[in-house]
Amino acid sequence: MRTRYVERNLDGAQSAGQSFSQTRRWWDTAGIAFGVLVFFVLTLAFTASQFGWLPYDPDQADLDLILAPLGSPGHILGTDFFGRDLATRLIVGVNAYFLPALGAVAVSLTIGATLGLAAGFRGGPVGLATHYTCTLVEAIPRLLLVLFAVTVYQPDIYHIMLIIGLTGFPGLATRLRLRIRHLREQSFFESALASGVSLQTILFKHLLWHHCRPLFLIHASQAMGEAILFETSLSYLGFGVQEPTPSWGNMVQTGSDYLLQGNFWPSTLPAAAIAITLIAFYLFADAFERRAQDRQNP
Amino acid sequence: MKGSPHLEIENLQAYFYASADRTFVRAVTGVDLCVMRGETLALIGESGSGKSVTALSALGLLKGDPGIVAGRICLHTDEGPRELLAGLDRCVTIERTPERPLSISKNGPAWDRQQKRNFVGVRGKEIAAIFQNPRTAFNPYLMVGEQIVENIRLHTPTKLYQEAYDQALYWLERVGLEPAAERFDNFPYGLSGGMCQRAMLAMTLAAEPALLIADEPTTGLDATLRTAILELLAELQRNLGFTLLMISHDLHVVRRLAQRVAVFYNGVIVERGPSLAMLSANDIPKHPYTQALLDAQPVRVSPKPRRLIALQGDVPSPIGEAAGCRFAPRCTHAKGINAKRCEHESPPFFQVSSDHQLACWLYTDSKEVSVRGVDA
Amino acid sequence: MRIKRSAIRPIARTLAKELAFTFALLVGISVVVYAMLVTAPNSHSADLATARPAEQTATPAYFHWLAGLVQGDLGNTSRSGGLVADELIPAAGHTLFLIACAMSASLLVAVPLAVCAATKRFNGLSRPLLITLYLSSALPSFWLAYAAIFVSTHYLDYFPVVDGTNIDWPITALATAILVLGSGLATTAARELSSELTRVLSQEYVTAAVAKGACLWRHAYVEGLLLPILEIAATRLSHVIGACVIVEQVLNWPGLGRLVWQAAQERDTHLVMGAVLACALFVALAHLLHRTLHVLMNPRASHMGY
C-alpha cells in the first residue's frame, strides 16, 4: 500500500493524487457540513410543524390505506397501521424533542462551563468539589435516574430534559477544567496579567473564547445527540410523549409489532431518522475535535 | 581490527513531508560517513542540520513520512558486512529534478517488514543508543533495574534471572550508581537527570554493544554533571573498546571525547576530519561554517580579550530549492565575484590532508576528489 | 509486578484517600435520592420505608432511612407487598451477567481494532468493521434489538426472546443482547484505545525500547492498553447499565432493567429507588476498583519509588 507524497507548494506541474492529509481534511469538512445540514433540516421540520405546513394531518387516519408501502401515490414514505402518513408524522415527531433538547444542551453547557472554569482556574478545594460532583453525577446511570424521577414526579418532557441537562455536564466540566489548568500554566497567561489586562478579559475573551470555543461546540453537539436519544428512548418506553402525538420513539414502539410481521417501514423509518440525526451530530463533534487538534499540533 | 571501517553510510537521503504546507522538508540530502572501529566520531551542527537523522537511521528508528528514501548503510560485524538499508529501492520511487524531489512514493508497510528483517540482531547488540532526555527514555512503569535485566537477558548468554540481576548490580556500580541494590528498585522518575543518564549507560553497555550512538548525551544535564558523564563515557570507552558515534553541538564536549569530527549544515556534511586540528585556532584550512563556530565560542583563557563574532542571518529554509552551497547566504566569503558560483553551484570536496576534507569554493583547486576519500 | 517495600505506605495512603472519596460519594448519592423522595409532590412516594410520623423534620428521617438502607431494608414494593431486596437481587444477578458478557465481548472486538488502527495494518479489514460498528451504534438500541429478532426468527429459525422468567441458557437472546449492547461500547472503546495507543507508541521510551531490541508491545501495553481499558470500562459502566433497560425490555431478559421499567410504569417508588441505589453503589464500587488497580499498576500515581 503505497503512500504518495507530492510537492505542491512550489510552482510546477502537479501530478494527480491527493496527499494523506488532504483526504482527511475533506472528510472533516464533509462531517461538519453534514452536521450543519441535518440541524438545518431539523429546524425546518420544527418550524413546519409549528406553523402547520404539513402535507397531511398527522392524526388523520385513512383506513383504506393501512400500511401502504414506500412510494405509494400521495404518500412518499408510506402510511402506518392506522393509515396516517408517515412523512408527516416524522416531521411532527421533531417537535417532541427539538426545544426540550436545546434546553437540555443549554443547561449542561452553562453548568459545565461554570464548574470547569472555576475548577480549572482556582484549583485546590474548588477543583476537588467539582471532581466530586462530576463523579457523583456520573455514578448514577442517567436513564435510571430519569425513570426514578418519572416515578416520583411524573414530569412532562421539559422537566425530563431539565434533568438530562442537569446530569450532562460532567464531560464538559472535566475537559474544560483540564484545558484551563493547562492554559493557566502557559507563559502567555502570566504575560497578559503582567501587562495589565484585567482578569475578566483574560478569562472570558482569551481563554474561553479563543481557546475553549471548540470544546463548547463539541460538547453541544454531543449533548444534543444524547438528549435526542434520551427523548426517543423514553418515548419508546412509554414515559415521554404519549400517543397519538407522534415522537420518533413511540413510532418505533408502535411499529415494532408490525416489524416482526414483516411490515418494517413504520418502525424502521423513525429509527433511520434517529440514526441519521445522531450520526450527524457525532460526526460534527468528531470532525470539530480533529480540526481543533490539528490546529493545536500542526 | 581496530582501524577498519565499522559503519559506512553512503548517499543517505531523508525527506519529511509537511502536510500543512504540502511540501518536502529536507532532512538529509546526500550524506557520506565512515566510522572506524574503536574510534569516537562526533557529528556537530545546529539543530535541524540532520545529524540526529543520520545517526538514528543507522538504527532504523526514523519516524516520519516518508523518512529515508535513498542511500546505503553498511555495518561491518564480526560475521561480515550487513546492508541495513537493503531493499529500500524496491519500496521507494522518486520523481525529481536535480534540485528537489517532485513526488516520492513509498510503500510503508513493506519497508517496515523489510527493516525488521534487516535489523535482526543489530539493535541493542551491534548498535545501541543513548538518548538526550534520559528520564523519558526509560519505561516509567518498570523499575530501572528491571529494564537493565531485560537488556541483559535479551542480548547476552545470561538467561537466568538471578545471574542477570547480579550483572545488573555490577553495571550499576560500574557507572557509579551506589548503593546498587537500592538504585535497582528505583523508578525512572525517582532518579535525577544525571543518575538516569548513568543508568541508561549501564543499560546499554550491559548488552556489550559494538557501536554506541550517543544522541546529545549531556545536553539535558547541568554543567556540573556534564563533565562527570563525559569522563564516565570516556573511561568506559577506553576499557570496553566500543565505537562511539556522538552527536553534540557543544564543541568542548567534542574536543574532549572525539578523535574525528563531521560538521553538518542544513542536511549535508560540509567538513570532516580530525577533531584536534579542525576545532582549534590554527592555520589549517577550515570551512567557513566551522570557523564561524569557533569564532562564536567564548575562549576561557585568552591572552587578550576577543570579541565574540556572531553568525549573521538564519539557517536557510529546508523547504524548496537547494542549489549551490547551503552556507552561502550567511558566509562572509560568498560576496562579490564569488557570490555567483557559491549560490548556484554546489562545491565539491577539497582534500586538506589524508583524512580531512571540506567542501568550499574557497579552497577548491582543479583537483576533484572522491567523496569517500578516507583511507582504510 | 514487584512492589518495593518502601512503596507500601504511599500506596496505602493513596488507597485510603480513594476509599474515603468513594464513601463520600455514596453518602452524596443517598442524599440526592432522598432529596428527590422528599420533594415528591404526592404523598404516595412520601410514605417511605421510614414510616415517619408527620411531625418529624426531614433530617432525622433521613438517618432513619439511611439506617434502614444499610441494613438492606429497601422497603416493600407496591405490587406484591414483598421486600424490594428480594426482587432486586436475582434480577441484579441476571443483569450483571449480561453486562459482563457484553463488555468482555466488546473489548475483545475493540482491542484488535484499536491495534490495527494504531499500527496502520490490516486497514482493509478493520476500517469496514469500524464503520459498521459505528453505524450500528448510532441506530437506536430499541430498534436494533427488534431488527435482530426479525432477522433471527425469519432467517435463522431462532427466537431470541426469553420465555417466562427462567433462563435455560438462551444463547441467542444473549447473543442479540451482546450485539446491541456491545456495539456502542465497542465503537467508543476502539476509538479511545486507538488514540491512546498512537500517543503511547510515539513516546520516547517506546522508541528507546525498540532501539535496544526489545519487543515494542512488552513496554507499550501497560500505558497503551491496560490502563485505558480499565478507564473505559469504569467510565462506560453506567451508560451500559442504562442501555440495559431497553435491551432487557425488548428481549424480556429478567434483569434489573426490565424490573425498573415495569416498576416505573406501576409507579412503584420503592423498587425504582432500590434499583437506582443498587446501581449507583455498583458503579461507585467499580470506580473504586479501577482506581485501586490504577494505583497498583502506575508507580507515579502514588509517588512510590523514592
> Closest partner residue to A5 among B66, B320, B321, by Cβ?
B66
Distances from the Cα of B351 to the Cα of B328, B342, B347, angstroms: 20, 18, 12
Of C221 and A209, the one with more pLDDT: C221
| Count of domains observed in chain A | 1
Match 528508528 to its residue by C-alpha cell.
B61
CA–CA dist C190, C131 (Å, integer): 11
Please tell me which chains touch B, using 3 or more CB pairs under 8 Å as the contact test.
A, C
Task: Write the CATH number for A150.
Answer: 1.10.3720.10
E-state strands within chain A: 2-6
Highest mean pLDDT among A49-53, B329-333, C57-61: A49-53
Chain B positions in Cβ-Cβ contact with residue A20 (cut-off 8 Å): 19, 65
C155 touches chain B (CB under 8 A): no
Q: Is the pLDDT of residue B202 over 90?
A: yes
**Edge-to-edge, what's the strand order for the sheet holding B23-36?**
B23-36, B5-18, B66-77, B80-83
A251 touches chain C (CB under 8 A): no
Q: Is the pLDDT of residue B290 over 60?
A: yes
Which uninterrupted H or E stretch holds A38? helix A20-51
What percentage of chain B reaches a pLDDT higher than 70? 89
Q: What is the pLDDT of residue C299?
A: 84
* Residue ranges of chain C whose pLDDT lies below 50: 49-53, 304-306
The one-character DSSP state at C226 is I
The β-bridge relationship of strands B127-130 and B356-359 is: unpaired
Q: What is the pLDDT of residue B301?
A: 58
Q: Does residue A145 fall inside a structural domain?
A: yes
Least confident window among A20-24, B349-353, C84-88, C218-222 = A20-24
CA–CA dist C159, C157 (Å, integer): 7
Interchain pair A5, B105: CB under 8 A: yes
**pLDDT (tens digit per residue) in A86-131:** 888 888 889 889 999 999 999 999 999 999 988 888 878 999 999 9
Task: Output the nine-digit C-alpha cell for A127.
Answer: 477543583
> Closest partner residue to C280 among A140, A149, A267, by Cβ?
A140
Q: Are C263 and A238 in contact (CB under 8 A)?
A: no
Mean pLDDT (whole number) for B307-330? 71
Q: Is the C-alpha dihedral spanning A166, A172, A177, A180 positive or negative?
A: negative
Q: What is the pLDDT of residue C110?
A: 94
* Prior bond of A244 cis (ω within 30°): yes
Distances from the Cα of A110 to the Cα of A119, A167, A217, angstroms: 14, 12, 13
Q: Does residue A287 fall inside a structural domain?
A: yes
* pLDDT band per the 50, 70, 90 thresholds, residue A296: low
**pLDDT (tens digit per residue) in B45-57:** 888 888 889 988 9
Which uninterrupted H or E stretch holds A147? helix A142-153
CA–CA dist C27, C33 (Å, integer): 10
Instruction: Label each residue of A219-274 as H, E or C.
Output: HHHHHHHHHHHHHHHHHHHCCCCCCCCCCHHHHHHHHHHHHHHCCCHHHHHHHHHH
Q: Does the domain spanning B127-247 belong to CATH 3.40.50.300?
A: yes
**pLDDT (tens digit per residue) in A124-162:** 899 999 999 999 999 999 999 999 999 888 888 888 999
Q: Does residue A78 fall inside a structural domain?
A: no
Q: What is the pLDDT of residue A16?
A: 36
Q: Does residue A31 fall inside a structural domain?
A: no
Mean pLDDT (whole number) for B244-265? 89
Of C181 and A22, the one with more pLDDT: C181
Chain C positions in Cβ-Cβ contact with residue A233 (cut-off 8 Å): 140-142, 246
Least confident window among B210-219, B356-365, C11-20 = B356-365
* pLDDT band per the 50, 70, 90 thresholds, residue B211: very high
Q: Does residue A68 fall inside a structural domain?
A: no
Q: What is the pLDDT of residue A99?
A: 92
Residue B54 C-alpha, separation from nearest chain A C-alpha, in angstroms: 21
CA–CA dist A31, A283 (Å, integer): 5
Amino acid in position B311: L
Q: What is the pLDDT of residue B372?
A: 38
Highest mean pLDDT among B78-87, B144-153, C159-168: B144-153
C39: helix, strand or coil:
coil
Interchain pair B204, C204: CB under 8 A: no
Amino acid in position B139: N
* pLDDT band per the 50, 70, 90 thresholds, residue B182: confident
Mean pLDDT (whole number) for B66-76? 88
The β-bridge relationship of strands B101-107 and B349-353 is: unpaired
CA–CA dist C41, C21 (Å, integer): 33
Residues, chain A, total? 298
Chain A positions in Cβ-Cβ contact with residue C139 (cut-off 8 Å): 271-272, 274-275
Which uninterrupted H or E stretch holds B107? strand B101-107
CA–CA dist B133, B131 (Å, integer): 6
Q: What is the pLDDT of residue C163?
A: 64
Q: What is the pLDDT of residue A37?
A: 93
Q: Which domain holds residue A113?
A: 86-296
Least confident window among B97-106, B183-192, C86-95 = B97-106
Q: Are B213 and B55 in contact (CB under 8 A)?
A: yes
Chain A positions in Cβ-Cβ contact with residue C239 (cut-off 8 Å): 141-142
Task: Report ipTM (2 d.p.).
Answer: 0.89
**Domain(s) of CATH 3.40.50.300: residues in chain B:** 5-38+45-122+260-375, 127-247
Q: Which of C146, C262, C277, C285 to mutate to test the interface with A (most CBs of A within 10 A)?
A: C146
Q: Does residue A162 fall inside a structural domain?
A: yes
Match 589549517 to its residue by C-alpha cell.
B284
The one-character DSSP state at B83 is E
Q: Does residue A257 fall inside a structural domain?
A: yes
CA–CA dist A89, A54 (Å, integer): 9
What percentage of chain A reaches a pLDDT higher than 90? 36
* pLDDT band per the 50, 70, 90 thresholds, residue B170: very high
Q: What is the pLDDT of residue B316?
A: 67
Distances from the Cα of A202 to the Cα of A144, A193, B71, angstroms: 41, 8, 52
Domain B5-38+45-122+260-375 carries which CATH code?
A: 3.40.50.300
Q: What is the pLDDT of residue B128?
A: 93
Q: What is the pLDDT of residue B375?
A: 35
